[in-house]
């Protein structure tokens, strides 16, 4: 009874703020063993408790309803793919695991949120990004990061993400939150814009061409937010020379590092029209894209089942490696098309439309940078990691929960 009373009181505390902490810890946990999983499991358990004890009140909460709608857009197609899955057990495991995000979201949104929550969350995230960036700089200078993790084969920085080229992709996806903090700092510190230099450098040195694309898209959406939504007046002359400095930094890095210049140069092959050249520019992904197209053609309605692309691809003679690096087609919309079919694509489109409509409506400007990050985390052409993987699913729903929490605080 005492435990029940304590749990009931959590959602009724006044002036307390228990939302920014689990979100911040979970984000840090993405680069620290399985810490993010522990956070989401604890939140999910609290979410189950809330549904049992206060189900009607919880479902009546607008942020919970919005979360449920967004979750249904992605989860129901996963469930619909299960009856015809190539490996039903493999799919069922992923489908069941995905429910944690809805339950964790309900638990988080039922926690108290203070007026300073958005401020604390933004600074908590900025501190983590700054730490990852500085760690990446240290790795570039010494060959290993602060924990002794070496540079990824080929010269690409990994930072805290041991043996994985995720550093640049994570910084690119979360870059709108970095921009927003720099913008706010600029009101008191004119040189705050210089904080963009290390961010650009580490995203570039991460070596992921997908992250470069995400980075550019994020910058465009953020400028749109400033000029069209926030009504900001941009000093184009000042930003012209600042942008020039950023381009010079990028140019020097590309000129001095052979591995980086070769990755940039090969991008020109995308417009060559030659299969071999385009395949080289996409890191050998054309066969995997052809494979997902074939799977969609044969299983167009509900796909081959979540997390089953690799099984079908290998059965068709596709090449893989010991760490299953080709366990997905390296294209979000391709993975969704192959594994959940037309149902999945329609649900995914509905998810993007709902988020984009909220972005354009912008009922709470302070939440808009988080919305941009959600759009980047679900960008159709993202190609580095699997959309349904534990890592990326956790990041996506963490950002959705941060957006809903900040928007709720702003509305209150």
DSSP 186-237: HTT-GGGGGGHHHHHHHHHHT--HHHHHHHHHHHHHHHHIIIIIS-PPP-HH
Give the pLDDT of residue 321: 47
Beta bridge mates, 144: 150
Other C-beta atoms lying within 10 Å of the C-beta of residue 42 = 14
DSSP 157: -
Cβ contacts of residue 334 below 8 Å, gap of 6+? 288, 289, 292, 293
Q: Which of 333, 344, 335, 334 is nearest to 77 (CA)?
A: 344
- Alpha-helical (H) ranges within 110-195 are 117-142, 167-173, 175-186
Yes or no: say if 117 and 387 are a contact pair by the CB < 8 Å rule.
Answer: no
Helices then strands (H, E): number in the chain?
Answer: 18, 0
105 within 8 A of 71, measured Cβ to Cβ: yes
Q: Is the distance from CB of 326 to CB of 288 less than 8 angstroms? A: yes
Residue 351 near residue 394 (C-beta atoms within 8 A): no
368 alpha-carbon distance from chain centroid: 15
Question: Among candidates 299, 191, 284, 285, which has minimal Cα distance to 245?
Answer: 191
Q: Which residues contact 343 (CB under 8 A, 6 or more apart)?
A: 76, 77, 80, 81, 301, 302, 303
Q: What backbone torsions phi and psi does residue 200 show, to the nearest 5 degrees? A: -60, -45
Residue tagged 């919880």 (tokens)? 58
Model pTM?
Answer: 0.92
User: Would you state the pLDDT for residue 12?
Assistant: 59
Residues written for the chain: 412
Do residues 309 and 358 make contact, with C-beta atoms less than 8 angstroms apart? no
Which residue, 110, 112, 114, is CA-closest to 53? 110
Please work out, in degrees rounded to the nearest 5, the angle formed at the alpha carbon of residue 166 by the alpha carbons of 373 and 351: 35
Exposed e or buried b per residue across 245-274, where buried means at least 16 C-beta atoms within 10 angstroms of its C-beta = ebeebbeebbeebeebeebbeeeebeeeee
Angle (CA) 273 276 281, round 5°: 80
CA quadruple 409, 410, 411, 412: dihedral, nearest 10:
50
pLDDT of residue 9: 61
Q: Are 296 and 337 in contact (CB under 8 A)?
A: yes
- pLDDT (tens place) for every residue of the chain, 412 residues total: 566 666 666 655 555 578 899 999 999 999 987 889 999 999 999 999 999 988 888 888 899 999 999 999 999 999 999 999 999 999 999 999 999 999 999 999 998 887 788 889 999 999 999 999 999 999 999 999 999 999 988 889 999 998 888 999 999 999 999 999 998 898 889 899 999 999 999 999 997 888 999 999 999 999 888 887 666 677 778 778 888 888 898 888 888 888 788 888 777 666 666 677 777 767 778 888 888 999 999 999 999 999 999 999 888 766 654 445 447 898 999 999 999 999 999 999 999 999 999 998 866 688 899 999 999 999 999 988 999 999 999 999 999 999 999 988 766 5
């Amino acid at each position: 009874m005492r435990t029940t009373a304590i749990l009931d009181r959590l959602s009724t505390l006044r002036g307390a703020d228990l939302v920014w902490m689990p979100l911040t810890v979970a984000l840090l946990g993405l680069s620290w063993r399985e810490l993010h999983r522990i956070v989401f499991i604890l939140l999910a358990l609290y979410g189950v408790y809330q549904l049992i004890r206060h189900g009607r009140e919880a479902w009546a909460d607008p942020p919970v309803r919005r979360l449920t709608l967004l979750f249904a857009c992605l989860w129901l197609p996963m469930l619909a793919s299960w009856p015809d899955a190539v490996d039903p057990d493999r799919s069922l495991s992923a489908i069941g695991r995905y429910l944690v995000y809805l339950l964790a979201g309900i638990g988080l949104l039922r926690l108290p949120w203070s007026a300073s929550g958005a401020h604390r969350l933004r600074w908590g995230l900025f501190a983590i990004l700054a730490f990852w960036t500085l760690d990446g700089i240290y790795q570039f200078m010494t060959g290993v990061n602060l924990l002794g993790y070496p540079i990824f084969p080929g010269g690409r920085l990994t930072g805290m993400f041991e043996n994985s080229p995720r550093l640049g992709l994570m910084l690119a996806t979360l870059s709108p939150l970095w921009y927003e903090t720099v913008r706010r700092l600029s009101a008191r510190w004119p040189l705050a814009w210089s904080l963009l230099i290390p961010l650009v450098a580490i995203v570039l040195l991460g070596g992921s061409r997908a992250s470069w694309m995400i980075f550019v898209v994020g910058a465009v959406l953020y400028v749109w937010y400033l000029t069209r939504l926030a009504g900001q007046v941009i000093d184009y002359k000042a930003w012209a020379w600042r942008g020039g400095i950023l381009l010079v930094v990028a140019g020097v890095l590309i000129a001095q590092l052979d591995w980086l210049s070769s990755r940039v140069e090969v991008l020109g092959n995308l417009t060559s029209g030659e299969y071999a050249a385009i395949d080289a520019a996409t890191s050998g992904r054309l066969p995997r894209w052809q494979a997902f197209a074939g799977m969609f053609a044969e299983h167009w309605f509900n796909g081959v089942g979540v997390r089953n692309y690799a099984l079908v691809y290998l059965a068709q003679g596709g090449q893989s490696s010991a760490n299953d690096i080709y366990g997905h087609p390296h294209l979000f919309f391709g993975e969704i098309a192959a594994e959940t079919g037309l149902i999945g694509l329609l649900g995914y489109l509905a998810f993007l439309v709902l988020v984009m409509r909220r972005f354009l409506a912008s009922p709470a400007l302070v939440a808009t940078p988080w919305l941009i990050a959600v759009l980047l985390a679900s960008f159709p052409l993202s190609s580095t990691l699997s959309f349904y993987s534990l890592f990326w699913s956790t990041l996506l729903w963490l950002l959705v929960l941060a957006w809903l929490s900040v928007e709720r605080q702003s509305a209150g």
